[in-house]
Amino acid sequence: MNQLSLPVTSRQTEPHARLEETILKHLAHPWRKPVAAHNLQAFRRVERVIEGWKGPLVLDTGCGTGLSSIALAHRYPQALVLGLDKSLARLEKHSSNQGRYHLERIDLEDFWPLARKAGWKFAVQAFFYPNPWPKPEQRLRRWPFHPVFPEALACGGQWELRTNWEVYAHEMALAFEVATGVCSEVTVWCPSEPETLFEAKYLASAQTLYRWTAAVPEKWLTKGSNS
């Protein structure tokens, strides 16, 4: 992760024209994909970790090596941070134990429906530098286009996205607005200290970083995504 990083390049220079159509489709047709056995086992492990926990929960999506989970644990000392990533190789690079957090290997597309069904609500959901899949034909791999997006909304929280691709940040903001009615701005992000390896790499490469944040409204906390 010490090498410099090239900026994101894509034929797509603005939010995809089919984003609103896609969000409305997913809202009307809930995600029904069967949960993989290994993800269900991982979710059961997370259940045991948070059993009896009465404080706030923070979700670190795609936590990688867990540096962002440590940063979130420091930022929210009263919370329990769940750092989730699908890559065992990245998680195995984690060597620290600073703060109240738990790292687990699990696919988020299975985690969110299970968490919603269990009634879990997060105080914060962090999306720090996920893979943007910048080709237009890859858009369904991005979270704003994914069928599981309403399930993630149903888990609530203050959402925070950081990315080095401005288009992706605007797509997340637009998807959030279409689904919830909450309008929010994308801003340039200039951290004093990097909180992830990707953030450090992008800063060292003199790339512009972007940040978006918005809170899931109460209706999603009380009704969920399937009502």
112-148 pLDDT, tens digit per residue, is 999 999 999 999 999 999 778 899 999 989 999 999 9
More confident residue, 177 or 31: 177
Q: Would 5 be classed as within a structural domain?
A: no
Per the confidence metrics, is the pTM higher than 0.85? yes
Nearest-5° Cα angle at 161, 140 to 158:
110
Q: What are phi and psi of 214, to 5 degrees?
A: -165, 155
CB atoms under 10 Å from CB of 180, counted, come to: 17
What is the model's pLDDT at position 4? 79
Cβ proximity of 81 and 101 under 8 Å = yes
Q: What is the CATH number of the domain that holds 68?
A: 3.40.50.150
Q: Would 1 be classed as within a structural domain?
A: no
CA 223, chain centre distance (Å): 21
Average pLDDT over residues 82-100: 87
Q: Which of 78-82, 97-101, 196-200 has the lowest mean pLDDT?
A: 97-101
Distance CA 111, CA 151 (A): 9
Write out the residue range of the structural domain in which residue 55 sits. Answer: 19-223
Partnered with residue 101 across adjacent β-strands are: 81
Q: Compute the radius of gyration of the chain from its Cα atoms.
A: 17
Cβ proximity of 183 and 150 under 8 Å = no
Q: Would 13 be classed as within a structural domain?
A: no
Q: Would 32 be classed as within a structural domain?
A: yes
Q: Would 149 be classed as within a structural domain?
A: yes
Residues above pLDDT 90, as percent of the chain:
81
CB atoms under 10 Å from CB of 110, counted, come to: 23
Q: Would 14 be classed as within a structural domain?
A: no
**Angle between helices 108-117 and 37-50 in degrees, nearest 10:** 50
Q: Indicate the DSSP class of residue 34.
A: P
Q: For residue 92, is pLDDT > 70?
A: yes
Q: Would 180 be classed as within a structural domain?
A: yes
Counted domains in the chain: 1
Is the Cα torsion angle 57, 49, 155, 92 positive or negative in sign?
Answer: positive
Q: What Cα–Cα distance (Å) separates residue 120 from each residue in 152, 155, 215?
A: 11, 6, 16
Q: Would 186 be classed as within a structural domain?
A: yes
